[in-house]
Amino acid sequence: MKRDIQISVILIFSLCIVIYITNWNNSKENRKYREFQKEVRVHDLENAEDLPNYITWGIKNKFRASGISSDKRSYYTIQDIDSGSEESEVTYMLTVPEKYAVEVNLEMVSKRELDLTEGKSGDFVIEREMDEFVALVFDLETGELLNTIYIDKIFKMHDLNVMPVDCTGFATCNYKDKPCLAFDVKDIATTLDDVHDNSKKTIYIDLKSGELFEEKYEDLRIQIENKNKDNFVLMKKINSLMAENKRNSDSHSNEERYSVENLGFWEGYRKIHLTDVYNTIENNEKINYMFPDLKENYKKISDEYHKDFSLDIVLSGNSSDDEIIDIIESDILK
C-alpha cells in the first residue's frame, strides 16, 4: 500500500514537471513569435493590411506636370501626394536634368506562414512577390510619356529574384554615358534567416533602352546623404526665417514646407522641395516669372485630381544659399 502511494506521488510529480516544461516551451515559442512579429514589422512590413500575414508596400506619388524655364537653366515638376499612405512624405519622382521626369512604380507583397516542419515550431516561411516594378519616363519640357520600362520583366529575363533594399532609395545618374535609374537590391528572402542577408548589388537601368547593368553594392543612399550634409546650415536659416514669420494659416511644419538638397549624382544642381504649393503659386512672383506656365498647369491638375501636391524646383549652376532663400522668401513673408 505504501509502495503504491509512493508510485502515485512520483507519477503526479513527473506529470507536473512535464506540464511545467510544456508550458515553458509554449511560453518560449510565444515569445519567439512575438519577437519575430515585431522584428518583421520593423523590417519591412509597416504598412500592414487587415490580415497580419499579408502585407503590401509601394510607391504612391505620381507625376502630374513639369516645365523648363525659358533660359533652360531651371525646371520644375509637380507630383501628387497620397495622404492616405504612410510613405506620403517621401517624393518618389526623379528627374534627369533638362531631359526627363521619371516616375517609379513599385508594389511588393509579403506573405508569412507558420512553418509546420518538425523541429521548426514557431519559425516562419516568408513569401515575397513583386506585383509591379515599372518606370515611366516623361519629357521634362512637354510632359509627354516617352517610355515605359517594365523592370520586373527585365529582372525575369536576367533570372534576378531581387527587390530594392529600400523602397525610397532610388536615384538617377549618368552611367556609361547613359541616363539611368539606379538603386540597390537584395535577394528576395524566403526565411527569417535570409532577412539579414548581406549579399547586395547595385542595378542601373538605361532609361532609353531598358538595358540592365549590374555592379557591386555601392550603397547609393549613403552616398546621396553624404552629398547633402552641406545643406544643414541653409535649412537652419530657412527654419529661422519661417519661425520669425509664422502664420496662423500655415498647415505645414517648417520641415514639411521646404527642403533643399543637392540633386543626387548631378553636380551643380540643387533642388527645392515645396509642399505648400497653393501658397507658392499665389504669392511667389519670382517662381511664376521663372515658369510662366506653372500657374496654368497647377490649376489644370488641381481641377482634375483634387489632391495635395508637392512642387520640386531644380536650379543649375551651383546656386548659392542666398539665391535659394531669395527665391522662396516671398512664400514665407506673405
- Complete DSSP assignment for 18-39: HHHHHHHHHHHHHHHHHHHHHH
Copy the grid coordinates of residue 179: 541616363
In a domain, 214, yes or no: yes
Does 232 share its domain with 316?
yes
| Domain end point (choices 219, 249, 267) | 219
In a domain, 279, yes or no: yes
The pLDDT, as a whole number, for residue 272 is 93
Does 196 share its domain with 231?
no
Q: Which residue reads 552629398 in cell numbers?
A: 227
In a domain, 97, yes or no: yes
In a domain, 266, yes or no: yes
* Residue among 306, 321, 160 at smallest CA distance from 241: 321
Q: Which residue reads 526565411 in cell numbers?
A: 191
In a domain, 82, yes or no: no
Q: Which residues, in sequence order, are CB contacts of 59 under 8 Å at separation 6+?
A: 87, 92, 104, 105, 106, 107, 167
The CA-based diameter of the chain, rounded to the nearest angstrom, is: 108
pTM: 0.75
Does 197 share its domain with 118?
yes
Does 204 share its domain with 249?
no
* Residue among 30, 181, 52 at smallest CA distance from 105: 181
E strands along 140-274, which residues?
145-150, 162-164, 170-175, 178-187, 200-206, 212-216, 258-262, 270-274
Does 246 share its domain with 319?
yes
- 73-125 pLDDT, tens per residue? 999 999 987 644 444 344 578 999 999 999 998 887 776 666 666 655 555 55
Does 210 share its domain with 239?
no
CA pair distance 64, 214, nearest whole angstrom: 31
Does 95 share its domain with 118?
yes
Does 272 share its domain with 314?
yes
The pLDDT, as a whole number, for residue 82 is 63
Considering only residues 322 and 252, tell me which one the structure prediction assigns the higher pLDDT.
322
Copy the grid coordinates of residue 308: 495635395
CA pair distance 195, 197, nearest whole angstrom: 6
Would you place residue 332 in the very low, low, confident or very high pLDDT band (cuts 50, 70, 90)?
Answer: low
Does 214 share its domain with 110?
yes
Would you place residue 34 in the very low, low, confident or very high pLDDT band (cuts 50, 70, 90)?
Answer: very low
In a domain, 166, yes or no: yes
Mean pLDDT over 12-25 rounds to 51
In a domain, 79, yes or no: no
Q: How many domains does the chain have?
A: 3
CA pair distance 290, 330, nearest whole angstrom: 14
Does 122 share its domain with 213?
yes
Query: Can you give the residue range of the structural domain that contains 109?
Result: 56-60+91-219
AA letter at 311:
L
Does 128 share its domain with 34?
no
CA pair distance 61, 273, nearest whole angstrom: 14
In a domain, 69, yes or no: no
| Domain end point (choices 192, 219, 246) | 219
Does 144 share its domain with 261?
no
